[in-house]
Structure 1
Amino acid sequence: MNDQASFRVVLVSGAICSGKSALVEQLREKHGAMVIKTKDLILRKLPKITIERRSLQRAGEKLDKDDGGQWVAEALQREIDANSQRPTPSGLYVVDCVRIEGQVNAIRRAYGPEVFHIHVKADPKVLKQRYLDRSRADDAVHEYEALKKNRTERNIESLAELADVVVDTGRCSAASVLVRATALLNLYPRGAEKLVDVLIGGQYGSEGKGNIVGHIAPEYDLLVRVGGPNAGHQVFAEPEPEKYFHLPSGTQRAPNAKLLLGPGAVINPTKLLDEIAKHGISSERLVIDRQAIVISSDDIEEEKARFGNISSTAQGVGIASARKLTGRSDYKAGTELFLARDCSDLQPFLGSARKVLADAFVKGHRILLEGTQGTSLSLHHGQYPHVTSRDTTVAGCLADAGIAPSNVRRVIMVCRTYPIRVGGPSGPMEYEVDMEEIHYRSRIPLDPLKNAERTTTTNKERRIAEFDWEQFKDSVQLNGPTDIALTFVDYFGIENRKAFRFEQLTDETIRFVEEVERVSGRPVSLLSTDFNWRNVIDRRSW
């Protein structure tokens, strides 16, 4: 968040039913403001009066007549002093509401530039109808007319001349009123704050992204994932690794971070709910965007029938994504599993990614966006038809999450020393080798090596190849990474598993890293040496 004073005072004014209470409540809910009601201040000074609105009006006028409105500023100071040891999180004190110019001026004299005045208004017909709609008393019309005859109430619109912002709530939703108030209070970042780090795969998937996410996740307040269950990420844990198909891979490593599945995510509800239960995730922690795509059983069956010839994982992701694109004219909310909002089982977790991200930006929270699969599997930029059903580059991941490029701080592109593709007709790779060759070069025992090189989602054997420098350079161009994370460096030699600092790596590995940096023009900031608790050499400067 931007540098702020120890506290700020928000004055709210407006006629009866102009929307003051709605704004005040949102400032309390969204920004943790302490609300000070002048009604309560009146009752403290004059405890014998009734709480009926007209009695409060007359009592307020008496106090204003005695000192010109200074009493509100003095009462406000007592409230601030009383809370000096337990200040509000945002430092906001909201006065609901000021009624005369003298009250406003007295508070401004006391607190100067830390006072922000918001006046809300609406057409008189709208105000009257709102009052009638919320009142069930038979004499509601007469009561409203009597309240409006009060001298202070008659003159309330004159405060608009003093206000920093005047909002017509008859032409502006409650959410829009809050947006304007938040901007006035400088609670929105000025410009695009670079709070988002993006992690993506630079090859054909299975680059070890989960391992890198597990290492850096504790540094973030919000973890975001896009893509679908056709990509599984693993993070080391005992007694067995954690596997994530929907949830962000840092879910357990960063237990205090909020979790978000963006509108471009593709969800198998049964598998996701199993994952949620396995990791003990509450609806307070996880938000699923209502627009996220839902996979049906028919999607899975159709994908199995149609895409076996390109070694698809057949999780239904592509068909479900196509339905979102082609089914727009037939869509009727709730009639079938189509979007997350149509799935009753997901209701406790549904929300808006835009709102979650907006709140994170306002609070200055650090965000990690985790992509899935790899750049060369991109629908648009990969080797068609051996591609997945979405754009897997940084640009595609940002679009799927709903994050602007100007909010990005770092882009971490994860690459293996030996790229892989799933076994079968999954597409071309330059200079394929076999596991026996990797065993010979690295001296890693063959059986554990073969067991490790099976896909997380479908448990298929992988094909493996030499590092492809042309493919790597293309990925650098497409993603514009700030950093490279290099994984499976033990494939250059099993002794790298005992390296905990860069200089402890083998000479061959160090030379390879130097060439990666020379070709990409980016630093290799993270190196994964094994799959255990101490498996990442961290060379970051950030």
Structure 2
Amino acid sequence: MTSTVVVGGFFGDEGKGKIISYLAVKDNPTVVVRGGAGPNAGHTIKDGDKVYKVRMLPSGFLNKNAKVMIGPGVVINPDVFLKEITDFDASGRAFLDKHCGIIEQSHLNQDSKGELKEKIGSTGSGTGPANASRAMRTLKLAKDIDSLSSYIDDVPQVVNSAIEKNENVLVEGTQGTFLSLWHGTYPFVTSKDVTASGICADIGLGPKNVDEVIVVFKSYVTRVGTGPLSNELNSADTTEKGWAEFGTVTGRPRRAAEFDFELAKRAIMLNSATQIAITKLDVRFTECAGKTNYDELSSEAKSFIKNIEDKLKVPVTLIGTGPAINDIIDRRK
């Protein structure tokens, strides 16, 4: 394989950051490149005693050998981008495309009040208003911002050149399938498409150059903010199951529900998934915490995984068993 696309299968919060971090270290890609909406999506990564909360850079920055890049379809907050380069020791290997859009203070102001905030539950990051400005062709681009000039590269060219050389490229999606502007629970969605097709368009990767699509599902469903959630548990049941969580960017509590096979089937279809990653198996089956071998899982946990494979007709190749990037069972050939 040379190109692998990783996307969320539910409403975001599936644990993509952990899966991408693991793949970035394990598969040693030349390039880790991020598509998606903007800094409204957060990924949490635990490496040893360090916890990183990432909003702009790709989650694969732990691999010091890889270029970490942001595709032209993504809108950028320059302050967040530059701060993360420093905080995550990514200087000299972090780049963005000249066509990345720029979030300005006016977008932040617009995103923090009115219908976007009150009805849709926007993160306040300015991402939606910036993407709206882009659709109106009034948005500034990275090439217009002096402080970004030393970080600009031709991201589609770098990505496709690496693939031509049979080098590994890891493509990072944000949010989740049902937050897609086209395929999600409109209007309670993000400001663009975040399925595998949309993410590939964001970075300039054509469909014939995609080798693997990994859809990430959590072992249960969570959702931050407003919008429909089938079979939603009340807060007491959520807490009792140990499924009470909080959003990476907003800190808002996540609503929870059982694993949703109908949503999962649709996510498999929409993303042309070739593999499934399941995260937080250890939250659902505490006896599986920290396991790295499938044979060590309990019979209940194995039945849960087998049921997913039987119903979705796609192999579960990666299983998260804890918060650290190496708390994982890798069943890929």
Instruction: Tell me the distance in 1 between the aligned counterparts of 2:185 and 2:228.
Output: 8
Equivalent position of 1:471 in the other structure: 263
Higher RCO (CA 8 Å, separation ≥ 6 residues) = 2
Report 1:42-61 matches (<5 A): none
In 2, are the aligned partners of 1:438 and 1:491 still within 8 Å (CA)?
Answer: no
8 Å contact from structure 1 (residues 492, 508) kept in 2: no
* Aligned mate of 1:517, from 301, 309, 324: 309
Residue 345 in structure 1 maps to residue 161 in structure 2: no
Q: Does 1:210 find its partner at 2:17?
A: yes
Q: How does 1:266-415 map to 2 (within 5 A)?
A: 266-283=75-92, 285-306=93-114, 307-308=116-117, 309-326=119-136, 328=137, 331=138, 338-415=140-217
- Aligned residues of 1:202 and 1:415 also touching (Cα < 8 A): yes
Q: Matched residue of 2:113: which SS?
A: helix
1:157-179 Cα offsets, whole Å, 9 max, x none, are xxxxxxxxxxxxxxxxxxxxxxx
Q: Is the 8 A contact 1:226 1:266 kept in 2?
A: no
1:400 alignment partner AA:
D
SS in 2 for 1:203: coil
Give 1:310 deviation, angstroms: 1.4
Structure 2 counterpart of 1:136? none
- When residues 323 and 274 of structure 1 are mapped into structure 2, their CA distance, relative to the original with a 3 A threshold, is same
Length, aligned pairs only: 328
Q: Which one-letter code corresponds to 2:100 in the other structure?
A: A
Could you tell me which runs of 5 or more consecutive residues in structure 1 were left unpaired when the two chains were aligned: 1-193, 332-336
Bigger drift between 345-354 and 200-209 goes to 345-354
Give the distance between the partners of 1:363 and 1:279, measured in 2 at CA.
28
1:93-492, aligned counterparts within 5 Å?
195-218=2-25, 219=27, 220-227=29-36, 228-252=38-62, 254-283=63-92, 285-306=93-114, 307-308=116-117, 309-326=119-136, 328=137, 331=138, 338-423=140-225, 426-434=226-234, 436-441=236-241, 450=244, 453-492=245-284
CA distance in 2, matches of 1:393, 1:374: 7
Please state how far the C-alpha of 1:365 moved relative to its aligned partner. 1.4
Task: Show structure 2 runs of 5+ residues with no match.
Answer: none
Matched to 1:199, the amino acid is: V
Name the SS for the 2:174 alignment partner. coil
Q: In the aligned structure 1, how far is the partner of 2:239 from the partner of 2:250?
A: 23
The answer (yes or no) to whether the contact 1:473–1:520 under 8 Å persists in 2 is yes
The C-alpha deviation readout for 1:340-360, integer Å capped at 9, x for no partner, is: 111111110012112212431
Q: Is the 8 A contact 2:219 2:281 kept in 1?
A: yes
Q: Distance in 2 between matches of 1:473 and 1:239?
A: 36
Report SS of the residue matched to 2:50. coil
How far does the alpha carbon of each residue in 1:176-199 deviate from its partner, in whole angstroms, 9 at most, with x for none?
xxxxxxxxxxxxxxxxxx621000
Asked whether the 8 Å contact 2:108–2:124 carries over to 1, the reply is yes
- TM-score between the two structures when normalised by the length of structure 1: 0.59
Range 516-525 or range 497-506, more displaced: 497-506
Secondary structure of 2:47's aligned partner: coil
Cα distance in 2 for partners of 1:464, 1:358 equals 39
Q: Is the 8 A contact 2:222 2:255 kept in 1?
A: yes
Cα separation, 1, equivalents of 2:145 and 2:89? 20
Choose 1 or 2 for highest CA Rg: 1
Tell me which residue corresponds to 1:496: 288
Aligned equivalents of 1:534, 1:345: Cα separation in 2: 36
User: Which structure shows the bigger proportion of residues in helix conformation?
Assistant: 1
Aligned position for 1:38: none
> Which 4+ stretches in 1 moved above 6 angstroms?
none
Shift in Å, 1:507 = 2.3
CA distance in 2, matches of 1:534, 1:222: 20
CA RMSD of aligned residues (A): 1.6
Identity %: 38
- Is residue 2:318 matched to residue 1:508? no
